[in-house]
């Protein structure tokens, strides 16, 4: 006892000594590290100054020794920078830090302290400012290194006295001057930090020592005083403890029945939150502390014990200070006098709030589990360790068509037999493995069980073991999820993904996948296959005459006819609207030609009846037999497609066999090659824009009315310009014009925005050509608006040109597009006017602003009176309708003068100006390696 008191007295003093030693060591370490930072700064600053002197000396002397000295001096701040950047990482490489700091002049014994102090700098405001000065110097040091490299290049190339050298030396002086304040700030920050840290640590030492000594003195005083008090109460406390522990091992109470005074232990006072002995009368304590609903229960238990000597053991709620309720359990024992009357009662009070809450939570969890199991969509079965069923929810009852009571204690394997999807073999017994502790849980898919009507019920089965406190298996929980409908849905989705929704045959993707597989197989073990492309000849007539419903019915009828005529190993797919593909597997070319002719004849003789009308359709068939070793799906499809196209172009309703010696097939192949080149050009941005001037001829037109037409050129892989006449026809035929038009719109608007920003008055009108395909594209207008909003160009400066043929072909949509763009301040020009057959008929219905007279009339205007009369008529009609006129192909000054005499408003051609690259066109040519620019020939629209 005496030894423990001595230890208690000495312990605070030992603690004081430890704290003082720690603070002293900390003070010495921090001051040493700060001195290392200050010394390092001096070394780094001196190295920087020496590097500047060496670089200036090198500029004067050109000596390699001066340059090496520059690099050597510059390596000091660079090494420190490397170390600091490495220390900024989450897990720095200490070896890199060490090398960097030592390169910066730091002593090896200071490196650990520098690293730790740098890591703590983010939490030390005094350090942060110095680190910030350090970081500011990085940019200047790196600039100095770059200037040194540039200066070395100039010296090595004999430009030591050049203006560039002098400019670099000016920058060196500027950097040197800029680094001076930074180095001073760095030094001041760490000197200030050193002083403040020294003062703070000394203050902490003094304050800590005084406070700890005072605390120790108070602790010793209170310990001695409390020891005396406890010693005085020891005898009475021991009596109360011995009596209290007879009833419980918690808080004690002692009731003097004769005087009706009750004593509570400190534990009970703390539990209830009241001051000690707040209520000393038992009757008052029951009324005040006990919950009103439990008062009668407590009084009855107390009377039973005092009068009839019943066991006093009762659970009730107590109102704690603040209003919270505490569940308590009390036990007590009365002390009686010689006559048997109770004079004193001592007992214990136990806090059972947690137990009561746990019981309530367990009840709730049990109810929730029962309700959840009864309501979830999966069948849930619980078994004992022998695999006998102990619980089934309602879903399990419905799945097995049996009530739960009939299944209890029956083996699960007897109620539920599962089978593999491959045949009727029984599925592995997962329950047995789990119960044998081979696995704690197991999930099985692709199994089924038989329903009452012997139907298959596909399920996913999960089995999990239940364990007791000793981790022994006591049973299992089995969950069966009915996935029958899910499998049906997945099968339907798989079917839809590979089959054409309208006809039920394969779609293009699945057709190509299977053909590709055949080609891969043939590459290793050749087997002759034949590929047929079919294109219906009169399908559009049926579709346009009777509507889409009739067209759909015709496609279904033809698909069924084709399917009936093929073998099960053959492949049939719908490739597009009225296009089909057939693969005749293991079929020689001669036999394939015979089958193709039979298919053509069958389709031609197939009478399709709709609304009491009979239609006969033909079919153009392309046949291609891939040679041994040919694995390219793309080449095979292309060959069959070319043959089909030639069959259609040659009169329709015939079979065309692909042959590389056929000129028509080669021409078609070249067209398709152009398609691939165009797609590549679109993808790789291999286009550029040119402009050609359009000038005003009439005196009423101001000279400032600057007008250009934007023209398109393509760049090939060899860096040569390709004229539109070479690629536009293929682009139109294969539906690539909308993509090209979009490229032109985007890049033209971008260039327009750039030109207007640089010189707002340079050009007032930009003419952009649109293809017929874009006119018929319902989404094209939205794209124009989107690009206008993106680049902010005024649409009042834009004129869209459409050819007369395109306008007539898409008349309704052309009129709508013109009307909508007019609302946005756009203008329109009708290009190649006079080349069509119905010019004057449609002109009055198209709200265009300009008529571009077809160049075929303009270029012969001097020699052909008819052409001159046509030009004059078009000009007069255009003016009568309130439209401006533009003459194309003005190739000489004489033609320009003639046009002016006829009153034509504008002229365009070589006499006015040749096409020139627009802004980024030259950069695009350089990017793609254009070696020369080919002067474009004057053609219409894009082909100009």
Vertex 781 angle, CA 779 and 783, to 5°:
75
- State the Cα–Cα distance between residues 536 and 554, nearest whole angstrom: 10
With bands split at pLDDT 50, 70 and 90, how would you rate the model's confidence at 29? low
Dig out the tokens for 638 from the structure. Answer: 């292309």
**What pLDDT was estimated at residue 508?**
93
Adjacent-strand bridge partners of 584? 530
Q: Give the fold, CATH level 3, of 499-659.
A: Alpha-Beta Plaits (3.30.70)
In terms of residues, how long is the chain?
944
Residue ranges in 443-547 assigned as alpha helix (H) = 484-498, 508-524, 539-546
**What pLDDT was estimated at residue 142?**
78
For 253-273, write each residue's pLDDT tens digit.
888 888 888 888 777 777 777
Residue whose tokens read 């007069």: 876
- State the Cα–Cα distance between residues 528 and 340, nearest whole angstrom: 117
**What pLDDT was estimated at residue 719?**
77
Contacts of 495 (CB under 8 A, 6+ apart): none
Segment among 148-152, 230-234, 907-911 with least mean pLDDT:
230-234
Vertex 108 angle, CA 105 and 109, to 5°:
125
Share of the chain above pLDDT 90, in %: 24
**What pLDDT was estimated at residue 790?**
94
What is the DSSP annotation of 441-460? EEEEEEEEEE-TTS-EEEEE
Mean pLDDT of the 644-658 span: 87
DSSP 796: G
| Mean pLDDT, the chain, integer | 80
With bands split at pLDDT 50, 70 and 90, how would you rate the model's confidence at 488? confident
Residue whose tokens read 């309130």: 882
Q: Specify the higher pLDDT residue, 303 or 206.
A: 303
Q: Specify the higher pLDDT residue, 146 or 123.
A: 146
Please check the confidence at residue 528 and state whether its pLDDT lies above 50. Answer: yes
- State the Cα–Cα distance between residues 154 and 122, nearest whole angstrom: 43
Mean pLDDT of the 523-530 span: 80
Residue whose tokens read 């510059």: 74
With bands split at pLDDT 50, 70 and 90, how would you rate the model's confidence at 372? low
With bands split at pLDDT 50, 70 and 90, how would you rate the model's confidence at 87? confident
- State the Cα–Cα distance between residues 100 and 94, nearest whole angstrom: 10
- State the Cα–Cα distance between residues 679 and 47, nearest whole angstrom: 60
For 581-635, write each residue's pLDDT tens digit.
999 999 999 999 999 999 999 999 988 888 888 888 899 999 999 988 888 898 8
CATH no. for 376-489: 3.30.450.20
**What pLDDT was estimated at residue 932?**
42
- State the Cα–Cα distance between residues 186 and 182, nearest whole angstrom: 6
Domain segments of the chain as ranges: 10-213, 248-357, 376-489, 499-659, 675-943
For 171-213, write each residue's pLDDT tens digit.
877 777 777 777 666 666 666 665 666 666 677 767 766 776 7
Half-sphere exposure of 136 (CA within 13 A, CB side): 16
- State the Cα–Cα distance between residues 229 and 807, nearest whole angstrom: 113
Q: Which of 261, 270, 250 is nearest to 347 (CA)?
A: 250
Helices (H) and strands (E) in the chain, counts: 32, 28
Please check the confidence at residue 552 and state whether its pLDDT lies above 50. Answer: yes
For 35-71, write each residue's pLDDT tens digit.
566 656 666 666 777 777 877 787 778 788 878 887 7
Please check the confidence at residue 494 and state whether its pLDDT lies above 80. Answer: yes
Please check the confidence at residue 322 and state whether its pLDDT lies above 80. Answer: no
For 827-841, write each residue's pLDDT tens digit.
999 888 876 545 566
Q: How far is CA 748 from the centre of its chain?
A: 31
- State the Cα–Cα distance between residues 537 and 603, nearest whole angstrom: 10
DSSP 626: P
- Sheet containing 418-420: order of strands: 389-392, 379-384, 473-482, 456-467, 441-450, 418-420
Whether 891 contacts 877, CB under 8 Å:
no
Dig out the tokens for 521 from the structure. Answer: 């197989």
With bands split at pLDDT 50, 70 and 90, how would you rate the model's confidence at 85? confident
For 681-718, write each residue's pLDDT tens digit.
888 888 999 999 999 997 645 555 688 999 999 988 77
Mean pLDDT of the 642-669 span: 78
Segment among 324-333, 403-412, 802-811, 901-910 with least mean pLDDT:
802-811
> Quick one: angle between helices 724-733 and 737-758, nearest 10?
130
**What pLDDT was estimated at residue 837?**
47
**What pLDDT was estimated at residue 28?**
56
Same fold, 376-489 and 499-659: no
Per DSSP bridges, beta strands 850-853 and 906-907 are: unpaired
Mean pLDDT of the 537-543 span: 85
- State the Cα–Cα distance between residues 561 and 534, nearest whole angstrom: 13
What CATH architecture applies to the domain 248-357? Answer: 2-Layer Sandwich (3.30)
Residue whose tokens read 């298959």: 456
- State the Cα–Cα distance between residues 450 and 427, nearest whole angstrom: 13
What CATH architecture applies to the domain 675-943? Answer: Alpha-Beta Barrel (3.20)
């Amino acid at each position: 006892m005496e030894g423990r008191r001595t230890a208690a007295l000495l312990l605070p003093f030992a603690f004081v000594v430890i704290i003082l030693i720690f603070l002293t060591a900390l003070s010495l370490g921090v001051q040493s590290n700060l001195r290392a930072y200050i010394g390092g700064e001096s070394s780094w600053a001196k190295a920087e100054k020496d590097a500047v002197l060496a670089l200036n000396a090198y500029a004067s002397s050109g000596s390699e020794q001066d340059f090496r000295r520059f690099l050597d001096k510059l390596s000091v701040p660079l090494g420190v920078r490397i170390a600091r950047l490495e220390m900024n990482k989450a897990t720095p490489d200490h070896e890199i830090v060490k090398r960097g700091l030592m390169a910066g002049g730091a002593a090896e014994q200071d490196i650990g302290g520098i690293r730790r102090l740098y890591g703590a700098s983010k939490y030390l405001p005094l350090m942060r400012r110095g680190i910030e000065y350090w970081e500011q110097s990085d940019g200047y040091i790196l600039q100095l290194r770059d200037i040194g490299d540039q200066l070395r290049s100039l010296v090595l190339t004999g430009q030591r006295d050049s203006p560039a050298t002098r400019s670099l030396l000016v920058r060196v002086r500027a950097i040197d001057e800029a680094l001076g304040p930074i180095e001073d700030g760095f030094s001041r920050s760490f000197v200030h930090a050193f002083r403040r840290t020294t003062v703070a640590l000394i203050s902490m030492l003094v304050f800590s020592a005084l406070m700890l000594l005072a605390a120790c003195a108070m602790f010793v005083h209170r310990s001695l005083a409390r020891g005396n008090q406890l010693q005085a109460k020891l005898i009475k406390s021991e009596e109360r403890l011995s009596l209290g522990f007879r009833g419980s091992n918690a808080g004690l109470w002692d009731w003097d029945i004769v005087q009706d005074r009750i004593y509570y232990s400190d534990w009970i006072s703390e539990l209830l939150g009241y001051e000690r002995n707040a209520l000393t009368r038992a009757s008052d304590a029951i009324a005040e502390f006990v919950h009103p609903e439990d008062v009668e229960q407590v009084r009855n238990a107390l009377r039973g014990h005092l009068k009839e000597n019943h066991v006093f053991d009762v659970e009730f709620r107590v109102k704690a200070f603040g209003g919270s309720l505490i569940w308590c359990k009390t036990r007590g024992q009365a002390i009686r006098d010689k006559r048997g009357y109770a004079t004193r009662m001592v007992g214990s009070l136990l806090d059972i709030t947690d137990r009561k809450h746990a019981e309530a939570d367990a009840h709730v969890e049990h109810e929730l589990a029962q309700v959840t199991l009864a309501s979830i969509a999966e069948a849930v079965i619980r078994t004992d360790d022998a695999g006998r069923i102990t619980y089934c929810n309602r879903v399990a009852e419905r799945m097995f068509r049996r009530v739960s009571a009939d299944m209890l204690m029956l083996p699960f394997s007897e109620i539920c037999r599962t089978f593999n999807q491959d045949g009727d073999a029984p599925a592995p017994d997962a329950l047995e493995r789990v119960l044998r502790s081979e696995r704690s849980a197991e999930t099985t898919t692709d199994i089924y069980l038989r329903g009452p009507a012997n139907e298959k019920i596909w399920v996913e089965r999960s089995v999990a073991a239940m364990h007791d406190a000793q981790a022994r298996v006591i049973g299992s929980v089995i969950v069966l999820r009915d996935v029958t409908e899910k499998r049906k849905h997945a099968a339907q989705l798989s079917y839809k993904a590979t089959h054409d929704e309208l006809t039920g045959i394969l779609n293009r993707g699945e057709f190509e996948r299977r053909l590709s597989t055949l080609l891969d197989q043939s590459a290793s073990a050749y087997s002759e296959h034949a590929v047929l492309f079919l294109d219906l000849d009169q399908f559009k007539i049926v579709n346009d005459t009777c509507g889409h419903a009739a067209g759909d019915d015709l496609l279904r009828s033809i698909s069924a006819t084709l399917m009936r005529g093929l073998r099960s190993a053959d492949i049939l797919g719908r490739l597009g609207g009225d296009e089909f593909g057939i693969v005749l597997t293991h079929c020689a070319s001669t036999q394939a030609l015979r089958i193709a002719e039979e298919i053509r004849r069958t389709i031609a003789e197939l009478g399709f009846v709709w609304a009491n009308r009979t239609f006969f359709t033909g079919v153009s068939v392309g046949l291609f037999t891939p040679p041994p070793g040919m694995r390219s799906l793309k080449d095979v499809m292309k060959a069959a497609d070319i043959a089909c196209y030639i069959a259609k172009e040659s009169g329709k309703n015939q079979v065309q066999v692909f042959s590389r010696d056929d000129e028509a097939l080669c021409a078609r192949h070249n067209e398709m090659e152009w398609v691939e080149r165009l797609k590549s050009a679109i993808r790789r941005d291999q286009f550029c824009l040119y402009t050609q001037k359009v000038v005003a001829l009439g005196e009423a037109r101001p000279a400032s009315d600057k007008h250009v037409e934007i023209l398109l050129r393509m760049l090939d892989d060899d860096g040569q310009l390709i004229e539109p006449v070479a690629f536009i026809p293929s682009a139109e035929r294969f539906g690539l014009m909308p993509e090209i038009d979009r490229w032109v719109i985007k890049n033209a608007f971008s260039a327009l925005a750039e030109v207007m920003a640089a010189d707002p008055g340079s050009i007032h009108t930009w003419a952009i050509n649109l293809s017929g395909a874009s006119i018929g594209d319902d989404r094209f207008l939205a794209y124009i608006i989107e690009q206008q909003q993106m680049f902010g160009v005024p649409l009042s400066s834009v004129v869209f040109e459409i050819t007369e043929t395109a306008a007539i072909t898409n008349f309704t949509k052309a009129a709508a597009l013109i009307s909508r763009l007019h609302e946005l301040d756009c203008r329109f020009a009708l290009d190649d006017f006079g080349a069509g057959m119905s010019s004057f008929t449609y002109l009055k219905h198209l709200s265009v602003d300009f008529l571009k007279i077809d160049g075929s009339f303009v270029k012969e205007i001097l020699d052909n009176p008819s052409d001159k009369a046509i030009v004059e008529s078009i000009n007069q009609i255009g003016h009568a309708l309130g439209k401006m006129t533009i003459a194309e192909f003005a190739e000489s000054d004489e033609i320009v003068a003639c046009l002016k005499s006829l009153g034509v408003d504008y002229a365009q051609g070589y006499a006015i100006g040749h096409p020139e690259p627009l802004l980024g066109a030259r950069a695009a040519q350089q990017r793609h390696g254009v070696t020369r620019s080919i002067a474009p020939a004057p053609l219409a629209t894009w082909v100009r």
